[in-house]
Amino acid sequence: MSHKKEVTVKLYSIMNRIRTVEEKIAELYPEQEMRCPVHLCIGQEAAEAGSCAALNDDDYVISGHRSHGHYLAKGGDLKAMLAEIYGKETGCAGGKGGSMHLIDLNVGFIGAAPIVGSTIPIGVGVAFASKLKKENRVMMIFLGDGVAEAGVFHESLNLAQLWNLPVIFVCENNLYSVYSPMHVRQPDTRRIVDLAAAHGMDSHYADGNDVEVVYQLTSDAVKKCRNGQGPVFIEFSTYRWREHCGPNFDNDIGYRTEDEYQVWRKRDPVALFRSKLINDYKFDESEIVKIEHDFKDQVNDAVKFAKESPFPDSSNAELHIYA
């Protein structure tokens, strides 16, 4: 397989992986067996898959509340993820964390925590230590549009630029913080990316629903970071299809419109890239169907694993308070 084709397959596979897992969670969530909040990222797969595909296995990712896509894109263990959401002993955090606290250190997924903005400085700190230890690893910090309103965002950008750290800030701007639209939160006289530029940072804005654009931009950013040329900030425009938290669509409750959703729905990052594979890159559709089919089986296996895994012993609740 040519390198170009290899990358193409990888990008589609990761996007398909995220979409399939998230759809499965949405399907099963009403069973009330996943007894924690879930923040699904359906609609944002390209920004997540394209960014993580640009990283090496030993590079780092850190994330916030909507982290399923980042975890999966970085190669996080699927069984451990689903088991965690089901609150099981075999979960990646032993059932202590749930959907908002995924972790897989084997693939450099440092962790996720749902206080908006809080993992940004922690990611910067990992990058600082990594740089000091001369590891030549890159830290990719995922954040959303709401973070740009928080002090910790500016403090972290200031420091990453000041200390010239190998950090890529990937901002997925999906236009809403829970139900609050951008226009009640931020002035329309500047973009988020401009804030990063104001910190003196190399900053970019792009279509986050085009996985190839995402991959190209983040690959360039990775190169820069590896060469010791400091942090990069990229804002990707995108859209979450479903409600802020939970499995449903919520275009009918009054904070956004069905029309707006349909505009973004037509720009489905997974479907767009799938047609491109067939029409432009002349993939045989059966190749794609095979990728999709194989992964569906993996998801079903992982769900079975999660459901059949035992709950942790209640005494585990008192484990790991102190190291």
Partner 1 sequence: MTRKIKYFEALREAQYQCMEADKDVYIMGLGVPDPKGIFGTTTGMQEKFGADRVMDIPLAENTMTGVAIGSALKGMRPILTHQRVDFALLSMEQIINQAAKWHYMFHGLHKIPMVIRMIIGRGWGQGPQHSQSLQSLFAHIPGLKVIMPTTAYDAKGLLISAIEDDNPVISLEYRWLYGISDSVPEEMYRVPIGKARVLEEGKDITIVATSYMTLESLRAREMLQERGVNAEVIDLRTLRPMDTETIINSVKKTGRLVVADTGHKMFGVSAEVLAVVLENTFERLLNKPSRVALPDYPAPTSPALCDDYYPRAGHIAAAALEQLGKAVDDKLFALPTDRRLDQPDSKFEGPF
Residues near partner 1 (CB under 8 A) are: 93-97, 101, 103, 105, 110-111, 113, 115, 118-130, 132-133, 151-152, 155-156, 158-159, 162, 319-323
User: What 3-state DSSP class applies to 120?
Assistant: helix
By C-beta, is 28 or 140 nearer to partner 1?
140
User: Residue 142 CA to chain centroid, in angstroms?
Assistant: 6
Distance in angstroms (rounded) separating the CA atoms of residues 223 and 112: 25
Supply the minimum distance, in Å, between the C-beta of residue 208 and partner 1. Answer: 25
Supply the minimum distance, in Å, between the C-beta of residue 219 and partner 1. Answer: 24
Token representation of residue 308:
């059949």
Supply the minimum distance, in Å, between the C-beta of residue 306 and partner 1. Answer: 16
Concatenating the DSSP letter of every residue in 260-281 gives: HHHHHHTT-HHHHHHHHHHHTS
How many beta carbons lie within 10 A of that of residue 4, not counting itself? 9
Contact 85, 103 (CB under 8 A): no
Supply the minimum distance, in Å, between the C-beta of residue 301 and partner 1. Answer: 23
By C-beta, is 19 or 101 nearer to partner 1?
101
**Rg of the chain over all Cα atoms, to the nearest angstrom:** 19
Supply the minimum distance, in Å, between the C-beta of residue 113 and partner 1. Answer: 7
Supply the minimum distance, in Å, between the C-beta of residue 176 and partner 1. Answer: 23
Distance in angstroms (rounded) separating the CA atoms of residues 312 and 309: 9
Helix axes of 3-28 and 285-308: crossing angle, nearest 10 degrees? 40
Q: Please tell me what DSSP assigns to residue 207.
A: E
Distance in angstroms (rounded) separating the CA atoms of residues 135 and 46: 28
By C-beta, is 121 or 181 nearer to partner 1?
121
Contact 279, 272 (CB under 8 A): no
By C-beta, is 16 or 119 nearer to partner 1?
119
Supply the minimum distance, in Å, between the C-beta of residue 299 and partner 1. Answer: 24
How many beta carbons lie within 10 A of that of residue 2, not counting itself? 7
User: Residue 30 CA to chain centroid, in angstroms?
Assistant: 23
By C-beta, is 1 or 132 nearer to partner 1?
132
By C-beta, is 142 or 236 nearer to partner 1?
142
By C-beta, is 125 or 246 nearer to partner 1?
125
Supply the minimum distance, in Å, between the C-beta of residue 317 and partner 1. Answer: 10
Contact 81, 92 (CB under 8 A): yes
Q: Which amino acid is at 268?
A: D
By C-beta, is 57 or 322 nearer to partner 1?
322
Backbone angles phi, psi at 141, to 5 degrees: -105, 120
